[in-house]
Structure 1
Amino acid sequence: MARTASLSGFPEWLPQERLVELHVLDTLRKTFELHGFASIETRAVETVGQLLRKGEIDKEVYGLSRLQEDDDASVGEGGKSDKGDPNALALHFDLTVPFARYVVENAGYLAFPFRRYQIQKVWRGERPQEGRAREFTQADIDVVGDGELPFRYDVEIALVIAEALSALPIPDFRLRINNRKLAEGFYRGIGLTDTPGVLRSIDKLEKIGPEKVAELLKSELGASDEQASLALQLAAIRSEDTSFVEQVRALGVKDDLLEEGLIELEQVIEAAVQRAPGKVLADLSIARGLDYYTGTVVETVLVGHEQLGSICSGGRYDALASKGNRKFPGVGLSIGVTRLVSRILSQEFATASRSVPTAVLVALNNDDSWSAAQDVAAQLRGRGIATEVAAKAEKFGKQIKFADRRGIPFVWFTDDDGKHQVKDIRTGEQVDADPASWEPSAEDLHVRITTA
């Protein structure tokens, strides 16, 4: 992790680091599948119009075009990447917008509510820094309905993510949860009609502080001192139980949408207190910058590593996907896998026991023994033991050193009489062995991810 990348914002892992990332990905996949989520993958490219129809992130989208354009190249099929042209092509910046398009196009083939998980690369033109990359992996889960989607899925998604994150080699975490209906209803109730604008200002609280947010509310949205004060009082409310409900009502604001959001958030927190105690926090400062969220919104932080930013975020979107009069409401959360793995590696929260999957190197007595060595390797691989064969019949000491450099724990020897022995190069112990029955210890059979 200390090495300098040749191109900032595009992380690449060494083999031992990649094994840690694979452990994270496998853990997430297994958890998602245990809860019945099916895997999909969408294309890396979408049209600019598709990507930008919700949210203000056009400065972060990478346009796509060929280096040399044909005179008759049609826009949207390799033509000039012009963000003003909705048919121009661009790389997706998240997995939610492409998923909404996927649902609309494949609605006739999907069973609703449709539960999907998606683990894929995305690209975003941000300034590279710790926790922020230009190319990174996300792991998303979503449930989408046809026409309607019961609110209970908002609760379930939060619990699944809490379970998935609990299985990873990371510090303690908190899902900070709010509800856009609650926030928008409150702002409307105090007379601030530009609720998306208020949300965008509140979303900057942690970056610029309450005083500057208050100035933004007054200068850009025309809020009075009292309105700005009430908006900030709402954002200051946090609780690990449902006590936030009375704290909000104590502010004296009345609005039907506010009441609806309060009830929804109360259900999420109530379920989390029971099934994921200590992992969820009602935090009424959470806004989420993208405009497509309509209800529950979530951001997740590692305790003691809050400066890293959110490692998992998302929420409810009721209007992102539609086909004519047919609506496909959904709720989903996205884990920033690359952000998590970067912190796991830099803080050594987890390490791989070796840098390669290989457990055994079959040594060569001479160049003529290569075929027999392949037979031994085939027997070992047939029983699930990852095995390599040495490429050259060098001195045994050199072959052992090669295995040591690779992180391979065992070296296999076969003498001219066909007798087999295996050496644990870590301890020096060498014993007779039969390729048809020998087994390494369970700890050495596969790469192990050990936690600090």
Structure 2
Amino acid sequence: MARPTPLSGYPELLPAARAVEREVISSLSHTFELHGFANIETRVAEPLDRLAKGGEIDKEIYVLRRLQAAGDPESEGDTGGDGSSDRRLGLHFDLTVPFARYVLEHAGSLEFPFRRYQIQPCWRGERPQEGRYRQFTQADIDIVGKDELPFHHDVEVMRVMVQALDALPLPPLSFQVNNRKLIQGFYQGLGIPDVTAAIRQIDKLDKLPEDAVAELLVRHAGASDDQARRCLELATIRVSDRSLLERVRSLGVDDDLLDRGLDELMSVLDGCADVVGERVSVEANLRIARGLDYYTGTVVEIYMQGYERLKAVGGGGRYDALADDGRTTYPGVGISFGLSRTLVPLLSEGVLRGSRAVPSAVLVALADEESRPTSDRVAAALRARDISCEVVASPQKYGRQIRYAERRGIPFVWFPATEPGGSDQVKDIRSGDQVDADAASWVPPDDDARATIVVSASSTDERQTQ
């Protein structure tokens, strides 16, 4: 069989790197659950008509069909007994669209407000590049209400995600927050004819220079040159304190919606003030618009210091009518964090790595094949107390067995007693210390009990100075 050709856009992690990803997922899950968020997992496939409503990425949706589908009417989509054999299915490109469907489908069994977190792969058929993949994992949290959802949940979701990411050994992260009511009210107060178009053009400021965006505001939103200039003045405001109020008011625009958005944005800043630290910051950035139409209030994008080339590594906001069955509306607020987008570049550059490629903390040595039952009993006693271990594959000189442990990153080698009445011994192969030990009571240091995330300080410092 010929050697396989790698597929671009589908990152596969080696065991040590996968250990990092699993530790990150475990940490995020722990923080989310501390705040009462329940975990769910949605199916990978959704009807194409529902996916197409979820965003402007129709050309990037992967269609799901069987290989022998041609000419078979039952293969055109879901034939799971509901009679809808002509439904066309696609793989979900984010976790928000399937979550909205999940809420509608299971509303009768859920208690509202419903707090969920979801960590799953997604698929998007775009051109692969650093930070953008065809298969990637996201971590989402959302709070969804029934007909109404008080604003304090916007602050809560932001605080939870700040605390979740602050617990991770990542480069510094910046939460850039805005409010769609604020910018929409500002554009209304200016008298811009097409407010929605104006929001879409402002959202392009991270890709185009200000002069180009000003031209787009005139061409697509019907703005005058002066109105376009004032839109850009608003978009340049970026502060993390209450000076935001004065900066916006100084632009001389009056509108009730603007006032409500400004109050909500200040509430988010004030509400996060006690959870930000050296690793995570929160600030108002009035350039942030997020192009999707379903955002109605708070919007946020998350950036990683030293990796601004990746653009946002997370984002989200308030959506007042993403899920609606015609009788009941389910407003919500949520944030998505791009695990793959964040971790794969950090792993490839050596900023993060796993402490070892295997979960084993102990390698149980084997004097000879006849003593394998003894080594197996030692391993069983360690595992009974949740100490991960493995027995060496074949009896060799102890020096080779130690080198085997070194190659796999296993910190301890256990030597069962070879003489009646003798003591077992355990060796820390890093320091060379070897002591008597009992498999019924010995425990490794906490830092060695499981594979951990190792941060390369030199790599992090280098990135931050670039």
TM bin (shorter chain): over 0.9
Matched residue SS, 1:403: helix
Size of the alignment, in residue pairs? 444
Q: Is 1:447 aligned to residue 451 of structure 2? A: yes
Contact 2:76 2:86 survives alignment (8 Å): no
Structure 2 equivalent of residue 355 of structure 1: 357
Contact 2:193 2:223 survives alignment (8 Å): no
Matches within 5 A, 1:48-447: 48-69=48-69, 71-77=72-78, 87-276=87-276, 279-418=281-420, 419=422, 420-447=424-451
| Whole-angstrom CA distance in 1 between matches of 2:250 and 2:429 | 69
Query: TM-score, normalised to structure 2's length?
Result: 0.90
Moved more, 339-348 or 329-338: 339-348
| Whole-angstrom CA distance in 2 between matches of 1:293 and 1:106 | 23
The percentage of aligned residue pairs carrying the same residue is 55
Deviation digits for residues 174-228 of structure 1, max 9, x if unmatched?
1111111111222222232322222221111011111111111222333221121
| Whole-angstrom CA distance in 2 between matches of 1:76 and 1:94 | 20
**1:169 to 1:349, Cα distance in 2 relative to 1, 3 A:** farther
Following superposition, the deviation at residue 5 of structure 1 comes to 8.5
Moved more, 342-351 or 218-227: 342-351
Structure 2 equivalent of residue 82 of structure 1: none
| Whole-angstrom CA distance in 2 between matches of 1:441 and 1:273 | 36
Following superposition, the deviation at residue 274 of structure 1 comes to 4.4
Contact 1:51 1:97 survives alignment (8 Å): yes
Following superposition, the deviation at residue 347 of structure 1 comes to 4.5
**1:306 to 1:433, Cα distance in 2 relative to 1, 3 A:** same
Matched residue SS, 1:331: strand
Contact 1:49 1:86 survives alignment (8 Å): no
Matched residue SS, 1:206: coil
Look up the equivalent residue of 2:388 and give its one-letter code.
A
Look up the equivalent residue of 1:438 and give its one-letter code.
W
Following superposition, the deviation at residue 298 of structure 1 comes to 0.3
Following superposition, the deviation at residue 86 of structure 1 comes to 9.6
Deviation digits for residues 113-142 of structure 1, max 9, x if unmatched?
111111111111222222111111111110
Following superposition, the deviation at residue 154 of structure 1 comes to 0.6
| Whole-angstrom CA distance in 1 between matches of 2:167 and 2:76 | 46
Contact 2:314 2:338 survives alignment (8 Å): yes
| Whole-angstrom CA distance in 2 between matches of 1:127 and 1:189 | 40
Following superposition, the deviation at residue 416 of structure 1 comes to 4.1
Moved more, 100-109 or 420-429: 420-429
Contact 2:193 2:222 survives alignment (8 Å): no
Contact 1:353 1:448 survives alignment (8 Å): yes
Structure 1 equivalent of residue 24 of structure 2: 24
Contact 1:121 1:138 survives alignment (8 Å): yes
Name stretches of at least 5 consecutive residues in structure 2 with no aligned partner.
Answer: 458-466
**1:171 to 1:5, Cα distance in 2 relative to 1, 3 A:** farther
Structure 1 equivalent of residue 460 of structure 2: none
| Whole-angstrom CA distance in 2 between matches of 1:100 and 1:41 | 13
Structure 1 equivalent of residue 12 of structure 2: 12
Contact 2:195 2:221 survives alignment (8 Å): no
| Whole-angstrom CA distance in 2 between matches of 1:60 and 1:195 | 27
Matched residue SS, 1:321: strand
| Whole-angstrom CA distance in 2 between matches of 1:196 and 1:186 | 12
| Whole-angstrom CA distance in 2 between matches of 1:236 and 1:358 | 52
CA RMSD across the alignment: 2.2
Deviation digits for residues 337-370 of structure 1, max 9, x if unmatched?
1122124324444333222111111222222222
